[in-house]
């Protein structure tokens, strides 16, 4: 049985805003691939809006959405970060950070009001961020003698692959990315070929 080997990212960083009973919510989305990039974007927004009441955020990272985090930044527990995270997950997105910057308008919104406002701001900015489906891939190196380069092509013709690099030195070496749900078939075929040396680039 084939497993799903696709995931979704936003196509672009975006921004949006909404007002709720005087409070202003500025929402930002970013494509991110690690926590260092998350911290960079957060620090830039905190520098841009140092007088804001809160900088609440959530992110999901990894092709399988392995890393997830929500932060309320001083708002009541689970009233800000969690609704932002729910907005990301409801769109089945990964490798994305959403930050909602709040300026308090003088009127308390209550926890239900905060949940609704942060969730709505996150959904608004994600609607403007676009969505693209990508394939999960694994990378391999394929090495052979010059006279057997066609054997590499023979194998690759059976699969959906991207050739990332070709090197010609003592031997021919290809670096390729192959769809994750084709890896087992690929490994079986290359194991049966004594002409090509294959290594998983984990």
When pLDDT is averaged across residues 185-196 and rounded to a whole number, the result is: 89
- Same domain, yes or no: 171 and 183: yes
Number of domains in the chain: 2
Q: Which pLDDT band holds residue 2 (cuts at 50, 70, 90)?
A: very low
20 belongs to a structural domain: yes
Please give the model's pTM, rounded to 2 decimal places: 0.79
- Cβ atoms within 10 A of the Cβ of 173, count? 17
Q: Over the stretch 4-27, which tens digit does the pLDDT of each residue have?
A: 788 999 999 999 999 988 899 999
Query: What is the overall mean pLDDT for the chain?
Result: 93
120 is in which domain, residue-wise?
Answer: 6-133
When pLDDT is averaged across residues 73-98 and rounded to a whole number, the result is: 97
- Same domain, yes or no: 118 and 170: no
Give every CB contact of residue 24 below 8 A, 6+ residues apart in sequence.
Answer: 17, 18, 102, 103, 105
- Same domain, yes or no: 59 and 80: yes
183 belongs to a structural domain: yes
Query: Tell me, what's the pLDDT at 64?
Result: 86
1 belongs to a structural domain: no
- Same domain, yes or no: 93 and 70: yes
148 belongs to a structural domain: yes
Half-sphere exposure of 20 (CA within 13 A, CB side): 18
Question: Which stretches within 49-99 are classed as H helix?
Answer: 81-90
- Same domain, yes or no: 91 and 142: no
**For a pLDDT cut of 70, what percent of the chain falls above it?**
98
**Quick check: helix, strand or coil at residue 33?**
coil
Going through the chain in order, the beta strands assigned E by DSSP cover 6-9, 14-20, 23-31, 54-61, 67-71, 96-103, 132-135, 137-144, 161-168, 172-179, 197-200
Query: Tell me, what's the pLDDT at 3?
Result: 56
């Amino acid at each position: 049985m084939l497993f799903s080997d696709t995931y979704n990212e936003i196509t672009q960083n975006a921004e949006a805003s909404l007002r709720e009973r005087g409070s202003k919510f500025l929402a930002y989305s970013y494509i991110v691939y690690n926590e260092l990039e998350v911290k960079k974007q957060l620090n830039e927004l905190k520098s841009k809006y140092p007088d804001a009441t809160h900088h609440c955020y959530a992110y999901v990272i990894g092709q399988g959405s392995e890393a997830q985090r929500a932060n309320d930044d001083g708002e009541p527990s689970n009233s800000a970060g969690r609704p932002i995270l729910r907005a990301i997950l409801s769109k089945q997105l990964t490798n994305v950070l959403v930050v909602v910057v709040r300026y308090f308008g003088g009127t308390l919104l209550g926890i239900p009001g905060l949940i609704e406002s942060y969730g709505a701001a996150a959904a608004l900015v994600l609607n403007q961020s676009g969505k693209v489906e990508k394939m999960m891939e694994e990378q391999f190196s394929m090495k052979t003698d010059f006279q057997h380069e066609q054997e590499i092509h023979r194998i690759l013709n059976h699969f959906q692959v991207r050739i990332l690099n070709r090197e010609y030195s003592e031997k021919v070496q290809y670096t390729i990315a192959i769809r994750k749900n084709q890896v087992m078939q690929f490994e079986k075929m290359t194991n049966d070929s004594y002409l090509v040396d294959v290594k998983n680039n984990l």
